[in-house]
Structure 1
Amino acid sequence: MRGTLLLNGNAESEEHLIQAAAPLLLGSRHADPALAASRTVLLVTAGWAEHEHDEGHIKRALNRIGLSSAWDAGYDRALVNLSLLAELNDLCRRAPELSDAWGELRDAEQTARRFYLEHNAHLLTLFRRALHDAKQLDPDLTVPRLLSRESPTGGPRPLARHALAQQLRQALSTLEANDDHLFQLLAEIERRAFDAAGAVYHPGWRATRERLEQRILDANTILLFGGRLDLLLDALRFFRLREPLAEALRRGAQIVAMSAGAMSLCERVIVYDDFAETPRDFQLYDRGLGLVRDLQLFPHCMERIQTDDPDNLAYLARRFRHQACIGLNQRSFLFLELTPRRATSWGNDDAVYRFGPDGTKHAYRAGEAIPFG
């Protein structure tokens, strides 16, 4: 694949993102010379909900860095909005049978997530209690030591230490199994919903998807903004836009994504449950588009992760073990090249952080290569 991705945690504003990404936005790797010369930018703002088309400040910021608008019959042909949410809402109005199927799918997904979170709340309480009790016995005990293949030896009350280590392992193992179960269950629910509704053979769905696909393939750069993760990811998945996005990358398009936009590109979307009634924690939300492989992104890194706590970092890296756990802040940027595959820290104002199963935190500064999982 000729294309590249620039991934950010949670830039102070969309304008800051564009300014930081300007060197990339003003260039092109696209295989189509005409498209590369056009420097067409596609804006994906579905996460902004009813404000999806309030993109004037984005276009002004792009104009300031040298990407001009090209107005024709009242439409900007150079800086284009995908209009993903508007297209979805319009289709649902025109095809109530698809709207009903869509609503039923989302209800079923919410039911699956509710039981998953309730189960995990109990396991997280057990995990924290076992860790607390182990540290009461020996303050030097750590999550990596307790989760090692061999039970911690030495020190007082070795049998109690062994029992607590086993409880900790069991809680973590069950959390991992619950994550895997939800991941598979959501895929099954979606497959059943699409099969029952015949969505991909519905003429309205096909016509809408063709329009969306063409806008994606006509872009030199795709800007994937944050906002409401559920709206953005659900709409991307409903129209099965992973394939055109992957094809755009293959042809040489570049994707710049922040916050929820960056998260949606991973294989698994991990969220921090800000509004949990039980103690807050990271949880699996859904399957992402899988365009970013081997890296699990955690935006809002310093706000939501206790990065100075080795036990917390070890827990995260072990629970979400499928990919390398990467923390991104407001001014953290990860530049991902696909052929050859290489991840590099981009930008001088902050680092990209990688958390290890041993509880370590590695900071990668501008230009430094970031190892995959």
Structure 2
Amino acid sequence: MFGVVKDDRSKKRLGNLQTRRGAIKTPVFMPIATYGAVKNLSPEELRELGAEIILGNTYHLWLRPGLEIIKKAGGLHNFMNWDGPILTDSGGFQVFSLSKHRKISDEGVEFCNPSDGKKYFLTPEQSIQIQLDFGSDIIMVLDECTPYPCEYEYAKKSVELTGRWAERCKRYFNKKMDRLKKEKRPLLFGIVQGSIYDDLRKKSAVQLVKLDFDGYAIGSVANAHEPREYIWKVLKWVVPLLPENKPRYMMGLGKPEEIVKMVEYGIDMFDCVIPTREARHGRLYVYSSTKRPAACERRDARGEVLDSSRFSGLARTIKTDFYQTLQITNSKFAKDMRPIDENCDCYTCQNFSRAYLSHLFKIKEGLGLRLATIHNLKFYLQLMERLGGRRKEKSAQREKSL
């Protein structure tokens, strides 16, 4: 189900995650299709960019357009015309962000839809069933996302609740999938919680590993305004406790330099709104190097660039200056006839100038949002390829088929 090539001298992994709709190469970045659409892009454009998997939001899709319509369409894939794998979250993060409009109990969570005032009740079992009805390929368990700051006693009770809910999710999932062959089943991931407390994070990880999920996510890290340094603390606490033969997913984080470092920590899967959100604000990512990102290069004694598949410890050489962002609305780009990135092969860079995009943003033309989004997602997907060393596996790495 998950084959991984592991670097002997670091925690970095190159993986191959098999889903019922095809294999996914890891490390992988998942563009976010909150309502069943990646903002400003069609599914065909996502395919052309090289996206292997996308992420849908259970909470939002459940409320709009609603489960009945998606089921009538034959599932989320048919509804949005995407034939690749889809990961859906459980809805937990969005529900628990409604702090003034929800009540938590052992049974589940009651919340009020802020758009129409209607009350809903979501149980662990119901969250799984909704995702099954969507036809999701990777399903996330329902968990409680802790706020920040979070008192220790609250976080402790939350971890215990998340553990009980995870067990219920697994039991319900197994019951529903009992008659399906393994290769026809979606995958089920657990989510490690525990706020900023090392013992609680470790306790949560151990609980979930005992339940033997198909993969493990790490949630509520710097998503609730925790200091960014807790990203690395949580990874140090949790990753050593997770099985090597299962994929690891860091939820919701994704600055380019953070992804690079998280790959070095042994994380395989990422999602984040940053590339699409920044595109909508006219901020475009460009590699600093004219050949390869300086951060992704290592040279031999003669100064020759070595392919990244021939060395380990990539993230140790990474600096935050391996890329830059262009604010395309700045006046200096109004007459700049160069592409966004001269070394990028995306549709935007191959066909349009910085001056043209600057013009589109200034007149608030929707095409500008689309072209900017195409480029930023290409940057992120290309970053994953480079972190994967272009998968030249005739390297000094040892292969594990786990």
Same fold (TM over 0.5): no
Pick the structure with more helix per residue: 1
